[in-house]
Amino acid sequence: MSPLFSPYTLRSLTLPNRIVVSPMCQYSANNGAATEWHMIHLGHLALSGAGMLMIEATAVEPEGRITPKDLGLWDDATEAALVPVLAAIRKHSKIAVVMQLGHAGRKASSKVPWEGGQQLSVADGGWMSYAPSAVSQKEGEVEPLALDAAGLRRLRDAFVLAAKRAERLGIDGLEVHAAHGYLLHQFLSPIANHRTDEYGGSLENRMRFPLEVFDAVRAVFPADKPVGIRVSATDWMENGWNLEQTIAFAAELKKRDVDWIDVSSGGISPLQKITIGPGYQVAFAQGVKEATGVNTMAVGLITEPQQAEEIIASGKADFIAMARGILYDPRWPWHAAAALGATVEAPPQYWRSAPHGQNKIFGETVFGGR
């Protein structure tokens, strides 16, 4: 059996393979509510043959959106908007659907990327952002408001309420977003966290709030459903968050029975210096896995089936999470199955699409019709 296409069980959830569709912001919501775009976007990715589909970073409060067009889950309207999207997926696909819960922190109130992504002023429809410290993302931006004790409680409660709504929607698992320079990563990184109280300074203190949020989410989400977390393993900056600190954070998460750690990197500052190449972040996932034994997801320019197969077969990671690559080729799992001699789930309407001699990628199928 192909390691990439071998099953894996996370609590009561058994995945047919190790391919994960990463959460990818679409900036296409209406006041946080899912739209027809989400039906199309998530619907076609649900037919990809991947084992897990992650819904994009979903803001737990309006002020936690990166842009005014971000998806959210904070009230009855945003919850109701996801019902038909999930119903359509469930009707036509067996894929596991996981939601990433997040908060943008100081990176909130921005224009959508195709309009430049710059900070959006309050006068132009933006809002004041919140962060661990009153330190802006980049020079010239309005400084965020430093969170006080009441603000920290409000945010923990917002994550909890979103997790409860996700459960009502029938979501199969959750991922807490603590990467890419957003709020929980801001607490972890000394680049963004300049606090002098129990949430700043030492590594233990900087980890405190992200761990509190994880604990709060885990406590209210059903025990038989998995909860993972996404981290940035390094800030790619001197004196920033790094792999050693990530491993220490992972060790604390292991004590809390985290189901996976989705290991990415970067995002805390535009001054980062990233070295990019094929599989450039795999070593971070491998480092976390080897040090802690926690399930890991590898990301970052993983584009070829044999490349993904080797990562899983060698034990560098337990899952491959794909973003841009699967947007470019939404049938990547089909093509990987054909290349590796494996099978993959696909809707019967598409069974006849397999190239001549490769219909076995869909298992034992019967091709009828006229």
Is 182 assigned a catalytic role? yes
Return the CATH class of domain 3-362. alpha beta
Q: What are phi and psi of 349, to 5 degrees?
A: -60, -20
What pLDDT does residue 104 have? 98
Segments of the chain scoring below 70 in pLDDT: 359, 364-370
Amino acid residing at 5 = F
pLDDT at 116: 94
**Catalytic residue among 8, 182, 199, 328, which?**
182
Strands in the chain per DSSP E: 8-10, 13-15, 19-21, 52-59, 96-102, 130-131, 145-146, 173-178, 227-232, 261-264, 296-298, 319-322
Sign for the CA dihedral angle at 110, 115, 116, 121 comes to negative
The string of pLDDT tens digits covering residues 60-107 is 999 999 999 999 999 999 999 999 999 999 999 999 999 999 999 999
pTM score, whole prediction:
0.96
- Write down the pLDDT at residue 174: 98
Domain boundaries, the chain: 3-362
pLDDT of residue 176: 98
17 in Cβ contact with 5 (< 8 Å): yes
Calpha distance 49→331 (Å, rounded): 7
Contact 329, 35 (CB under 8 A): no
Which residues fall within 8 angstroms of residue 321, CB to CB, at 6 or more apart? 20, 21, 22, 54, 262, 297, 298, 299
Q: Specify the pLDDT at position 274.
A: 93
* pLDDT given for residue 61 in this prediction: 98
